Amino acid sequence: MDIEIGMGKQARRAYGFDEVSIVPSRRTRDPDDVDISWTLDAWTFNLPLMASAMDAVVSPKNAVEIGRLGGLAVLNLEGLWSRYEDPEPVYERIAEASPAEATKVIQDVYTEPMKAELVRERIREIKEGGVVAAASLTPQRVQDFAKDVLAAELDILVIQGTVVSAEHVSKTREPLNLKEFIKTFDIPVIVGGCAAYETAYHLMKTGAIGVLVGIGPGAACTSRQVLGIGVPQATAIADAAAARVRHLEETGRYCHVIADGGMRTGGDISKAIACGADAVMIASPIAGAFEAPGRGYHWGMATFHPELPRGVRVHAAQNATLKEILIGPADVNDGTLNLFGALQFSMATAGYGTVKEFQKSELVVAPAVKSEGKLLQQSQGVGSV
Amino acid sequence: MDIEIGMGKQARRAYGFDEVSIVPSRRTRDPDDVDISWTLDAWTFNLPLMASAMDAVVSPKNAVEIGRLGGLAVLNLEGLWSRYEDPEPVYERIAEASPAEATKVIQDVYTEPMKAELVRERIREIKEGGVVAAASLTPQRVQDFAKDVLAAELDILVIQGTVVSAEHVSKTREPLNLKEFIKTFDIPVIVGGCAAYETAYHLMKTGAIGVLVGIGPGAACTSRQVLGIGVPQATAIADAAAARVRHLEETGRYCHVIADGGMRTGGDISKAIACGADAVMIASPIAGAFEAPGRGYHWGMATFHPELPRGVRVHAAQNATLKEILIGPADVNDGTLNLFGALQFSMATAGYGTVKEFQKSELVVAPAVKSEGKLLQQSQGVGSV
Amino acid sequence: MDIEIGMGKQARRAYGFDEVSIVPSRRTRDPDDVDISWTLDAWTFNLPLMASAMDAVVSPKNAVEIGRLGGLAVLNLEGLWSRYEDPEPVYERIAEASPAEATKVIQDVYTEPMKAELVRERIREIKEGGVVAAASLTPQRVQDFAKDVLAAELDILVIQGTVVSAEHVSKTREPLNLKEFIKTFDIPVIVGGCAAYETAYHLMKTGAIGVLVGIGPGAACTSRQVLGIGVPQATAIADAAAARVRHLEETGRYCHVIADGGMRTGGDISKAIACGADAVMIASPIAGAFEAPGRGYHWGMATFHPELPRGVRVHAAQNATLKEILIGPADVNDGTLNLFGALQFSMATAGYGTVKEFQKSELVVAPAVKSEGKLLQQSQGVGSV
Amino acid sequence: MDIEIGMGKQARRAYGFDEVSIVPSRRTRDPDDVDISWTLDAWTFNLPLMASAMDAVVSPKNAVEIGRLGGLAVLNLEGLWSRYEDPEPVYERIAEASPAEATKVIQDVYTEPMKAELVRERIREIKEGGVVAAASLTPQRVQDFAKDVLAAELDILVIQGTVVSAEHVSKTREPLNLKEFIKTFDIPVIVGGCAAYETAYHLMKTGAIGVLVGIGPGAACTSRQVLGIGVPQATAIADAAAARVRHLEETGRYCHVIADGGMRTGGDISKAIACGADAVMIASPIAGAFEAPGRGYHWGMATFHPELPRGVRVHAAQNATLKEILIGPADVNDGTLNLFGALQFSMATAGYGTVKEFQKSELVVAPAVKSEGKLLQQSQGVGSV
């Protein structure tokens, strides 16, 4: 809190991924020796990856494929799959809407009510694929569908909203008491989003096995513009990692920090881990897979808010397989393919053997600079210009 | 004053809206529980909103509509409505001028003298609409039209200029003594602009019920380029808020801080309040309403200066109703519609129930970065990319 | 020297005009009460203005006009006017060169030798106009033409180069000893450029009546790109102003600090003064006058270096009279017309009555931000958006 | 380490060339008096220049020409020249590939195995030109070809990779022990890249005569985007220069710091030296010579990685001779020609006579700013706008 915005108003400087860079240690390693696997509760995943609970990113079908590739997909239980028996024509309608009418169309299709039967059905579809099944609800809807989620034998419940706090205040209705809910709920819960030390710490104290860190997302969300709220991700993650330490010391329980949003490349994912994340939750890169349900488009779950839509339907050109995107091989060089091969290579190059070690990686602050039409950081080196 | 520009020249770092962001507290709230109403002197407004005293923003007619929607419109008494019996053809002429000749045309139409009778008439037109009537004069003209303003029973007088100080010095004429004028004037006065602690404090001591904070405005003003003068708004507001505290402690009177200029979205308005403002004065967003008088254009009141025009006629595409702009519902997602629904939602998300509480909101400094053609802040999070 | 670039390498942060902004004081003034006149040695000029010694900016003819408008034009004695009896066809050739060949053409036309007779003749042409005559030579040529300059009764000699130091070292020839030259030379001398405290101080000790501050100029110079050398102007000026104080205390003589380069608008000029300059030397704005000799183009005096040209022929659209550019009236609003009316208005708005007072003006650091295609500083305010 | 990214995560601010600028000292010099020669081990080069070991930059043929012009070219022994008896058709294929297929084509042509006989042959071709012969291998390949390199009587071996550390860890194979290899190898070795104090220091302790400094290169490399790794060059060089001091004090041996990457202009090269480099390694400028083998294209040596290509085929318009690029004369003024004439001129202007002196040059931090389509630093001065 060392910056004075004006007399009597202090603030802290916060940093985004574009402002930081990883510094190699004095060691290097073979990529093959680097372990990027992620153990969450009873499960071990090959990749420290969650796929975002967004309709253009995760369907019951590609959730299974993501699971087989080593990640954990989260189906949004308040999305199209719980509202429509057959959502394919709805996806079609969204994809065919003109840019001018896209938001209105999205607002419209999400007025269709959720159906408990479909909630159960979708979870079962994932389970049948033989992978860990995760799905999300907002705090407002958790109590309405909790029994369906249990009945369908979901593995991990994600309770997610733009901002989720451990202490929601309402004058008109009894809000979800996260702590009590999680304590008595039969399956592990991940909650979020949050973006600062105190908030993350209090969410951890609810008993969640993980917290999602990130407010004011990237490509498909305009919360920052609409609400003025947000914390750059490098700072938000480092804060949450510090809260994890305190929570661990006080309770003996390790609560996972999952960086949610703002990552497009292997470099971004590497930085998220280097800032302290245990895993990352990504959307846009997966929306760009042939297997993604969005038909080349991508939108957020606040895009259809009836009075204050936040988010925009964005293009997500589908030009690679899920496998190429997640574990390669890549035949382009902009960092958008082989995301986790890149993480592995980054850790090897920087000299770290495990995610826990890489979380302690040295960083420099190196602000991004626009140069000849491309956003580049001011670091130039190996390989020469 | 901790930055050394060069040997012996100190300066303070000042911050704009694009450089700061709001950090949610550990609580969240229901939007419906959030109170954004604004009590100014004897009046309570549903919205903490003033509409700028500019000819493309406020006409007698839409002043009434803005009042009915919960805001306070300010008619510029030195504008077209006090110069022309029927200003509609003049608006037409401005709208039809080519870009090259726009400034000259604007310079020309404002050479028509003001008429005291029209000053009275316009005020009465607003009063007849049953809303609080506010109108503005520059310090140079206040004494010429004071009696007309009183005769027409204006509710609130705004004394406004690019920079207004409590101590104007002139060798050639007796300047307006703001303190004496306000003390003896029969109706409440708001004064501005100002942009730093000392200046705001001295303006508050004149007895004004509010000060306008902001120098070197946004879209329709080029004062900063022409004069080199200006203070970024986040800093200017925080400074004025600190002056408000001192003034309150010394006099027991609460002088409202009204952020004037530089706000286009709900996010900007939220930040203005979070920096310490009691209310905001906006122009461009309102100039974009179907009900705005500017016919799709917008210009400032310094645009017609005969020797040193400062400001430019800018496009203000009219594509929403006043109601959609101010209180929604929105069907676009760039933050330009439902501005005060967004404020309410922002306060709820950040966990604050009243404007006074939100003024103490935590901020981070998070510089804006140009990314892929859009100005985004480096914060990415909730909802995932 | 508080920034660590890397281990063992310290640096100081330096600031440019785009990074600072003037803060109004608690007073305001009438523009008519503001005195911007400039007294240099025996002369008083209505405007604190020097016109740059560049071929596209100053000809003998417009030097007279600039003088009549209140400024001081400097003719470059190593330019076309001293090389060609009739330079008009040469200007024509430069103006007609294609962009690709412009540098080569400029290199070529400046291979024509200087003629002592023309040096004398051009000075006389200015003198005959009844204005103060100033002209420039590089340190390398001063001794060759000193007697011609005296014979023609020049009023002020400007000794100018990209960087001029008080201590030039050469193994192969006897360099100009500035201190001895100035002491014994019969007319006052202004020297530059320089850009930091020590260098400015040592140049002041040569006995010059003024120093030019600025290295790595603006539109028509690429020294910074080619050589990596340069100091942002706000810092360079503040440094030189501090050297002026020391020099005054030690010698009792006031050496003028003339900001040279990087100013395009009234705002830039105001900032130069507010950083501590006594006057400004400008080129691009004057090259854009109908009366400028450059025929719509502008280039620097290092543009024709035979082996390492530094500078570029740039467009300087001629669309206003010298009078409109310097003292108005303006009918555009981007700050490029009525430059000194703007200075006067800026001082009045900020509350300062004289240049000496304005030099002590409060500044804020407010970094420039690209917004919607225009370079704007993050300060938004008076007049509202 | 004075910046807090988030709670518990510290970082250091690092600087790139675009953020710093050279401040002239109080002296100036004649360019002809400035000595820019470089003595490395037994050799003295007229220019402190290495040409990068990249296939679009150095062929056996132009290595000779670069040597004759005073520099030291490094042939990449893992490139096309060691894979193909006649690589010309391969260059052709790369040049003719469409942008979309370029990376795939490059991946493909580099699957051709290296041939020991060609390794020897190419070195001999350079030796026959009568210049110092330097060539590079990655750490992984050094032991395979060490005897060929010696047999062909290479003068200097460069061991190079994206990041090379003194301590490589591998579970599956015996990594190269740099220290032991260099101690027993018969010819001098240069190693890199590295980018921070500790890493550079440990590389110096291997006995190398020089270290290459730079990670996350410029135009032809996307390591930063793909891996998130990199340190801006000004900081990396200053750090390595500090390591050089420590190493010299401890061992009495001077290990050269060679800035590798991120330099396009004479200004960049000047800054690299001013930050502490002994010499520079450049690629893009040389790829733009008529004599370059790349046929107007340029790509890095990580571009063809089969699973994670990092780098991109970029245009390198060939429009000048090697001589014009390196030592002039220039007839363009953007800093891309006469690179070392510019270095000489920069040193003269700043007042330094030797590279060792220039390494101690004063710098300012002056962040780059995009202005009217060009990346300019905020420093404006000499010569006027």
What are the E-state strand segments in chain A? 3-6, 9-13, 20-22, 27-29, 38-40, 43-45, 49-51, 72-76, 134-137, 156-160, 167-169, 189-194, 210-213, 256-260, 279-282, 297-298, 314-315, 363-365, 368-371, 374-377
For the CA atoms of B78, B80, B85, B86, the dihedral, rounded to the nearest 10 degrees, stands at -160
How confident is the prediction for chain B on average, in pLDDT?
Answer: 91
Give the neighbours of chain A: at least 3 Cβ pairs within 8 Å: B, D
Tokens (6 digits) for D171: 């579970």
Two tokens at B13? 């770092």
- Which residues 194-213 of C are in CB contact (within 8 Å) with B? 197
Give the pLDDT confidence score for residue C221 in this predicted structure: 57
Nearest residue on chain D to A269, judged by CA atoms? D228
How close A8 gets to chain D, by Cα (Å)?
Answer: 22
Quick check: B331 and A103 CB within 8 A? yes
The nearest alpha carbon in chain C to B53 belongs to C383
Give the HSE-up count for residue D196: Cα atoms under 13 Å, Cβ half-sphere.
Answer: 22
pLDDT recorded at residue D376: 32
Confidence of residue C138 (pLDDT cuts 50, 70, 90): very high
Task: Please list the residues that pair with A256 across neighbouring strands.
Answer: A210
In this predicted structure, the answer to whether residue C383 has a pLDDT above a threshold of 70 is no
- Per-residue pLDDT tens over the stretch B85-122: 999 999 999 999 998 888 889 999 999 999 999 999 99
Q: Which of A4, A9, A237 would you mutate first to test chain B, the one with the most B CBs within 10 A? A: A9
Q: Tens digits of per-residue pLDDT, A67-76?
A: 999 999 999 9
Contact list, B15 vs chain C (CB under 8 Å): 366, 378
C331/B contact by beta carbon, under 8 A: yes
CA pair distance A221, A236, nearest whole angstrom: 17
Ramachandran quadrant class, C311 (left: phi over 0; alpha: psi -120 to 50; beta: rest): left
Task: Look at A358 and D302; give whichever has higher pLDDT.
Answer: A358
**pLDDT number for residue B1:** 65
Question: Does the distance separating the beta carbons of D231 and A271 come in below 8 Å?
Answer: no
CB contact under 8 A, D385 and C282: yes
Task: Note the pLDDT tens digit of each residue in A231-269.
Answer: 999 999 999 999 999 999 999 999 999 999 989 999 999
Q: In what order do the strands lie in the sheet with B3-6?
A: B3-6, B9-13, C363-365, C20-22
Is residue C380's pLDDT more than 50?
A: no
Strand partners, D8: none
pLDDT for residue C252: 97
Interface test mutation site (partner A, options B28, B363, B375, B382, max chain A beta carbons within 10 A) = B382
Tell which of B224, B281, B315 to mutate to test the C interface (max C CBs under 10 Å).
Answer: B224
Q: Between B146 and A307, name the one with better pLDDT.
A: B146
d(CA A185, CA B283): 51
Distances (CA, A) of B187 to B148, B160, C269, D87: 13, 16, 41, 89
Of chain B, the percentage scoring pLDDT greater than 90 comes to 79
Least confident span in B92-96, B160-164, C67-71, C244-248: B160-164
For C183, the token pair is: 């002491």
Among D57, D231, D300, the residue with its CB nearest the CB of A364 is D231
What is the tens place of the pLDDT at every residue in A79-120? 999 999 999 999 999 999 998 888 889 999 999 999 999 999
Query: If pLDDT is split at 50, 70 and 90, which confidence band does C368 have?
Result: low
SS3 D366: coil
Residue D32 to chain C, least CA–CA distance (Å): 9
Q: How far apart are alpha carbons C204 and C255 in whole angstroms?
A: 6
Question: What is the CA angle B101-B303-D371, rounded to 5?
Answer: 80
From the list C29, C106, C102, the residue with the least C-alpha distance to C306 is C106
The subunits that touch chain B, with at least 3 C-beta pairs less than 8 Å apart, are A, C
Question: Among B53, B135, B56, which residue's Cα sits nearest to residue B92?
Answer: B56
Q: Scanning every residue of chain C, which has its alpha carbon at the shortest distance from the alpha carbon of D235?
A: C6
Of C6, C165, C173, the CB nearest to D234: C6
Region C328-348: mean pLDDT is 92
Shortest distance, CA D281 to any CA of chain C (angstroms) = 17
Chain segment A22-51, per-residue pLDDT in tens: 999 999 999 999 999 999 999 999 999 999
Cα angle B316, B318, B322 (rounded to 5 degrees) comes to 110
Half-sphere exposure of A232 (CA within 13 A, CB side): 27
Does C196 contact D23 at a Cβ distance shorter than 8 Å?
yes
Judge: B380–A261 Cβ closer than 8 Å, yes or no.
yes
Indicate whether C314 pLDDT > 90.
no
Quote the CA–CA distance of C347 and C345 in Å, as a whole number: 5
Q: What is the DSSP string of B351-370?
A: T--BHHHHTT--EEE--EEE
Residue contact C383–B302, C-beta within 8 A: yes
pLDDT for residue A120: 98
Residue C189 tokens, joined:
């001398």
Q: Does A366 touch chain D (CB under 8 A)?
A: yes
Tell me, what's the pLDDT at A368?
A: 65
Q: pLDDT at position B370, please?
A: 43
pLDDT value of residue D310: 78
pLDDT of residue A326: 98
**C167, closest residue in chain D (CA to CA):** D27
| Block mean pLDDT (10 aa), chain D, length 385 | 90 92 94 97 97 97 98 98 98 94 92 97 98 97 97 97 90 92 96 94 97 73 81 95 98 97 94 98 95 93 80 85 96 88 96 97 80 32 29
Q: Give contacts of A282 with chain B, Cβ < 8 Å.
A: 384-385
Q: Is B334 on the interface with A (CB under 8 A)?
A: yes
Enumerate the residues of chain A whose CB falls inside 8 A of the CB of residue B372. Answer: 375
Query: What was the pLDDT predicted at C119?
Result: 98
Pairwise CA distance, residues B160 & A301, whole Å:
44
Is the pLDDT assigned to residue C52 strictly greater than 50?
yes
Q: Pick the residue with more confidence: C313 or C120?
A: C120
Residue of A4, A50, A205, A226 to mutate, interface with B, max B Cβ within 10 Å:
A226
Radius of gyration of chain C (CA): 20
Distance CA A138, CA A160 (A): 5
User: Which pLDDT score, from 0 to 100, does residue C226 have?
Assistant: 87
If you write DSSP's letter for every residue of B320-341 in order, what string do you get? B-HHHHHH---S--SS-SSHHH
Mean pLDDT of A58-66: 98
Residues of D in contact with A234 (CB under 8 A): 5-6
Contacts with C375 from chain D: Cβ below 8 Å: 369-372
CB of C349 within 8 Å of a chain B CB? The answer is yes
Residue whose token pair is 């009045």: C348
Which member of C341, C367, C385 has the closest CB to residue B218? C385
Closest Cβ–Cβ partner in C30, C341, C381 for B214: C381
Per the listing, tokens 């911007």 go with C36
Query: What is the DSSP secondary structure assignment for residue B194, as one 8-state letter?
Result: E
B12 touches C379 (CB < 8 A): no
- Give ∠ CA A24-A26-A29 in degrees, rounded to 5: 75
B110 touches chain C (CB under 8 A): no
| Contact: C260, D383; criterion CB under 8 Å | yes
Of A104, A164, A216, the CB nearest to B381: A216
Q: Is residue A21 within 8 angstroms of chain B, CB to CB?
A: no
- Residues of A with Cβ-Cβ distance to D172 under 8 angstroms: 30, 32-33
A365 touches chain D (CB under 8 A): yes
Q: Which of the four pLDDT bands, split at 50, 70 and 90, describes residue C219?
A: very low
Rounded Cα distance between D229 and D245, Å, is 26
Q: Flag if B384 and A15 touch (Cβ within 8 Å).
A: no
pLDDT confidence of residue C83: 98
Size of interface B-C (CB pairs under 8 A): 314
Check pLDDT > 70 for residue A347: yes
Whether C110 contacts chain D with CB within 8 A:
no
| C217 has a pLDDT exceeding 60 | no
User: Do B6 and C234 make contact, defined as CB atoms within 8 angstroms?
Assistant: yes
DSSP C254-277: --EEEEES---SHHHHHHHHHTT-
Those of residues 291-330 in A touching chain D at CB distance below 8 A are: 328-330
CB C21 to CB B231 under 8 A?
Answer: yes
Q: Where are the beta strands (DSSP E) in chain C?
A: 3-6, 9-13, 20-22, 27-29, 38-40, 43-45, 49-51, 72-76, 134-137, 156-160, 167-169, 189-194, 210-213, 256-260, 279-282, 297-298, 314-315, 363-365, 368-371, 374-377
Average pLDDT (B126-139) is 97
pLDDT tens by residue, D38-50: 999 999 999 999 9
**Overall average pLDDT of the C354-362 stretch:** 97
Q: So what's the pLDDT on residue A313?
A: 84
Q: Does C76 touch chain D (CB under 8 A)?
A: no
State mean pLDDT over A271-289. Answer: 96
Å between B101 CA and nearest CA of chain C: 9
Instruction: Indicate whether C371 pLDDT > 80.
Output: no
For the ranges B66-80, B247-261, C301-315, the lowest mean pLDDT is seen at C301-315
Query: Which residues fall within 8 angstroms of residue A147, CB to CB, at 6 or more apart?
Result: none
Over residues A329-358, the mean pLDDT reads 93
**A9 with B363: Cβ contact below 8 A:** yes
Rounded average pLDDT over B218-234: 78
What is the C-alpha separation between D97 and D244, in angstroms, rounded? 44
Q: Residue D12: what pLDDT?
A: 95
Q: Which member of C213, C217, C229 has the closest CB to residue D22?
A: C229
Give the pLDDT band (50/70/90) at residue A216: low
| Beta pairing partners, A363 | A22
**C-beta atoms of A345 and D308 within 8 A:** yes
Average pLDDT score over chain C: 91
Q: What is the pLDDT of residues B73-89, one digit of tens each?
A: 999 999 999 999 999 99
Query: How large is the average pLDDT for residues C57-62?
Result: 98
Q: Which of C170, C218, C311 sits opposite D333 (nearest CB)?
A: C311
Question: In chain C, positions 224-243, which contact chain D (CB-CB < 8 Å)?
Answer: 224-233, 235-236
> How remote is the C-alpha of C323 from its chain's centroid?
19
Beta carbons of A138 and A192 less than 8 angstroms apart: no
Give the percent of chain C with pLDDT over 90.
79
Locate A145 and state its tokens. 């569908």
Predicted confidence at residue D61, as pLDDT, reads 98
Domains, in order of start, for chain B: 27-364 (3.20.20.70)
